[in-house]
Structures are given as structure tokens and as C-alpha cells.
Amino acid sequence: MTQYKAPLRDIQFVLHEVLNVEQHYAGIPAYAETNRELVDSIIEAGAQFAENELSPINRNGDEEGCHFEDGVVTTPKGFKEAYSKFVELGFGALNAEPEFGGQGLPSSLGIVISELNGTANWSWAMYPGLSHGAVNTLEAHGSAEQKETYLHKLVSGQWTGTMCLTEPHAGSDLGIIRTRAEPQADGSYAITGTKIFISAGEHDMAENIVHIVLARLPDAPKGTKGISLFIVPKFLPDAQGNVGVRNGVKCGSIEHKMGIKGSATCVMNFDAATGFLVGPPNRGLNCMFTFMNTARIGTALQGVCAAEGSFQGALTYARERLAMRSLSGPKTPEKEADPIIVHPAVRQMLLTQKVFAEGGRAMVYWLSTQTDIVLKGASEEERKQADDLMSFLTPIAKAFLTEVGYEAANHGVQVYGGHGFIREWGMEQIVRDTRIALLYEGTTQIQALDLLGRKVLQTQGAMLRQFTKIVHKFCKANEENPQMAEFVAELNRLNKEWGDLTTEIGMRAMQNADEVGAAAVDYMMYSGYITMGYLWAWMAQVAQQKMAAGEGDAAFYQAKIQAAKFYFKKILPRTQSHRAIIQGGLDVLMQVDAEHMAF
């Protein structure tokens, strides 16, 4: 199995040369002291932790999985010790507020640590990842007393958090959840119901688990407008804020899954468990969206991790594996065959992995800088603009990056051939681990509906235009640069086509709203390829500037430009097949009666 190696050079390229994060932080008063030296030192420490602590226990976590007995979950060998080290190094506290023991550093720095951890060992990374969302939710919506009681220990990592949404009869349709919250005389609530698919719902890595739970009050209206949000700890805090008596919440079982087997996915039973209302009654979904957006960006990152991890393994193997001769003549005549990396079909797969990993990294990191602005931007106008851009890009990032990350993972298996199907090489584990990313936090299909229906059509294209203006300005600024011509011309054409295609869908939807559902997934993929195309053009421009100035490693910049060329010639044309499918319309999907689909 290939040992994970943190791609520090590419991470630094995106952060410092493309996004100019030091300048970005300087423009946000809360982050003004976050300089390059600090950023690099944290990332280098994170890389050492991921490489030395997490990567070595990735395979055994998959093979051993979690153990369940009478409500108790035991994580795989080494998971608990790695978590203790993570807490000791303070990584979980990076982004939290200093008043609760956090370091107050930007979200965009925390996302880098999440990538390092996730690529090295996604199952393990699920545990602290869920806590970040709980912290964000309580920071934004908790009362002063709730923050004082829970945030210090969640931030330190002494306690961990979950989010409990899904129920056996209700997946993403949260409007039909049945978990009840009965008011009690002391101001608390008795929470009763069952939640499923709860990641890190029970484990042995921390002394307490704080569940963030959606439930209904007795007088709640039906649908999503009648959902409230509650804190339900595994152990109720005592008067000193330490672990007290056991609450009425217990793990009923853990799921037997296709992948991420080291992450406990639990059925959680709430039996009149004591809970505490977070935020206003019947406004739970509004509060939970703080958590859900965090989770969706984190899930988008899983696509990047899958592409990066699979690419590292496939590239190493392709350089070493000998098979056949190059069609244009032997490349290593002294050997019995050529390394398979010389074959165009293998290079096609490797470069596809590379552009999805590096392009996805740029997309998530750029999106995370917008999170910085939303959280701590200097002006309301800046925060609103960043929030609108995030609202548009988040469903693209979540759905598109997990889809292409899964594609990249499958290429890893294919490069290895028969060896890719064997567990010891690690490629098939990446495929299994990342498959869930296309499902949780809203499936690809749900994210696509959110993008096209809510973010584009319901805003009359305003959110789309905000982004296409950014692309247009980039193209305009580079139209006189002959080195950028091959990127700018196609990007400019697609940017205009994007608007025209959206109008076409909108016109059809006025006649039949199901046209939105018929077009949504292909529209999302189409949008994702253009968005990543913009980022690859941006990275190519930066690389060209660095080479022209004689700065840095010329070979690195040249490889970046060549990767951009590959993306534009071999990947971006996929937009045209998605456009054709969109234009195929609704009718062909609905003409076959559901009862006669099987023959």
C-alpha cells in the first residue's frame, strides 16, 4: 500500500501564489496577524501528523472496522491514540474562538489540515470533522450558558460532537421527521425518537459526545417550518461542567458498510433523553444550516482526497510497472518492457486524476477563503457578497468534486489492473471509502436540484451572474495575452453559453417544473467543469507569470501549465455532452410507464 505523502508544494502554490492568502488575511481584521510563516508551520506540522500517525493506521482501520457490543463502540487499533495526539497538537482548536480555548485562525487554514487528515485516513478524519460542525453551530446559535457549558470541551477535543438529522423513514426529506421534544418543568426537553446514519454517534475516543438533534415540539407546524434544534449530550454535565450522569441516548447498532469502516455509523435511540433548545423554537433547520454547509464543504473535500490519494498510488505504480512496449518504439530498451506510464491510455487516467485533485484543491481552498469573509469580513457588503458566492458554489463543490473524485479513484484501480482489485495495494479501499461522499450531506441529485432550482432559477439567475461576471473579468483581463489565448477563448465561450443554456431550461420549466429535475444533474456537472476550468486557467496564468519572472521551480510551473492544457483539451469538452443531454429534455424520461419499466 502506498504511503501517503502530503503534497506541500501544490498546497503552498494554491494558498500563496494563486489565492495570496497572506494578503487575504491582512484584509480581515480578525486574521490580520496570520502571516505566511505561521501558515506554513501549521501545515508542515499537519503534514507530519497525517503522514506519520494517520496513514499507517488507514488499512488496519478498514480491515478491523469498529466493534459494537451492547451499545458500546470500540474504534480500530490506533484510532484512539491518534486522536489523543491530534488533541495534544491543538489541531481541533485551530478555527474556534479564543474565548472558548480556540486559536481563532482562519477557516481556510483549517480546511488544509482537513485535507491532509482526510487523504491519509478518511475514516479517522470523520470523528473530529463532525465536532467542527457542532462547534460552528453552537458558536452561531447557542446561548451564553450553552457556549460556556459545551464549547470549551468541544474545542479542546475533550468532547466530540455529532449531527442527528436522518430517521429510518426520512432521508433528506427532513420535513417528515418524527422525533419528539416534550417540554419539561425545568426548561429542558425530553427527546424521544430514532436517528440513523449518525457518524461518530458512539465511540471510545472522547469522554463525552454532544449530539445536535433535530426534533419537533408538540405544537409544531407540519413540514420543515416545524423543526427545532436541541443539544443532547451522552452524559449530562454536572455543576462544574464535567461529565455527570448518563443521559437517555444510546447506540442501538452500527452499520455494516461498503467503506469508511473505521468510522462508526450509528443508529441512535433517544428515550426521553434530556435536551436543550438551541435557537428559537421551530427554527431548527435555519440553525442547522450552519452545520450543514460546513459538512458539505467538508464532503466536497473528500472528492479531492480521493483523487489525490489515488493519484499518488497510481503514479508510483505506473512509473515502476513494466508492461508492453511503447507504440512509438521502446523507451527503456535495456529492460524487458516499458513502464506503463509511457502509454497514452495510462497517461490519460493519471492526468485526469491529477487535474481533478489539483483543480479540486483550488476550488475548495478558494471557497474556504469566502468562508473567512462570511465569518469575519470587515463590512456587511463583503460578507453578503461572499455568502452569495458560497451559496452558489457549495452545491457545485459538494456534488461535482465528489463525482469526479470517485471517477479518479476508479482510475486508480484501473491503472493497477488486476492488482488494483486486490486489497493490499489500497486502491479499492479508496473507491469504497469515497463512494459515500456522493450520498451523504445531500446526494448528487439533491445538490443539483438545489443549484439549478433554488440558487439559479429562483434568483432569476442573479447568483449565476455573480460568478459569470468573475469569469468574464478574468477573460477580459487576459484577452491580450497570447499565452492565455487557448484558455480564455474557450472559457469565454462557455461562460456565455452557460447563461444561454440556463435561460433555455428556465423557459421549459415555465411549462413543466419537472424540466428542472430532468436537467439538474447534467447542469450541475456542466457548471462544475466550467468552474474548474476557470480555476485551471487562473493557475496557468500564475504559473506563466512565475516562469516569466524567473521565480521558483520552472519544472513545477511548466507541469502546471501542461496540466491546464490537458484539462482544456481533454476534460472541459465534456460540457458539450452534458449540454446535449440537457437539451434532450424531460419527455423521454417520462414516456415509459413506471409499471412497465421492467419487462
Active site residues per annotation: 441
Is residue 451 within 8 A of residue 396, CB to CB? The reply is yes
Hey, how many other C-beta atoms are within 10 angstroms of the C-beta on 492? 17
CA neighbours closer than 13 Å in the CB half-sphere of residue 9: 9
- Distance of alpha carbon 216 from alpha carbon 184, whole angstroms: 14
- Secondary structure element (H or E) that encloses residue 180, with its range: strand 180-183
Q: Which three cell numbers stand for residue 290?
A: 450552519
Q: Which three cell numbers stand for residue 188?
A: 429542558
Look up cell 458554489; give the residue.
Answer: 393
Q: Which three cell numbers stand for residue 213?
A: 438533534
User: Strands (DSSP E) along 285-369, which ranges?
Assistant: none
- Secondary structure (DSSP) of 329-345: S-S-TTSSS-BGGGSHH
Is residue 42 within 8 A of residue 60, CB to CB? The reply is no
The CA-CA-CA angle for residues 151, 157, 162, to 5°, reads 70
- Distance of alpha carbon 334 from alpha carbon 93, whole angstroms: 54
Closest among 296, 163, 167 to 230, alpha carbons compared: 163
- Distance of alpha carbon 107 from alpha carbon 116, whole angstroms: 15
Identify the three-state secondary structure at position 422. coil
Q: Which three cell numbers stand for residue 66?
A: 469498529
- Distance of alpha carbon 478 from alpha carbon 539, whole angstroms: 13
Q: What is the DSSP letter of 459?
A: T
Within 8 A by CB and 6+ apart from 384, the residues are: none
Hey, how many other C-beta atoms are within 10 angstroms of the C-beta on 353? 29
- Secondary structure element (H or E) that encloses residue 266, with its range: strand 265-278
Is residue 265 within 8 A of residue 112, CB to CB? The reply is no
Partners of 163 in beta bridges: 212
Closest among 304, 254, 268 to 125, alpha carbons compared: 304
Q: Which three cell numbers stand for residue 115?
A: 485535507
- Distance of alpha carbon 531 from alpha carbon 356, whole angstroms: 12
Identify the three-state secondary structure at position 181. strand
CB neighbour burial string for 63-76, b if at least 16 within 10 angstroms, e if fewer: ebbbebeeeebbbb
- Distance of alpha carbon 404 from alpha carbon 407, whole angstroms: 5
Task: Sort strands 159-164 and 208-215 into parallel, antiparallel or unpaired.
Answer: parallel
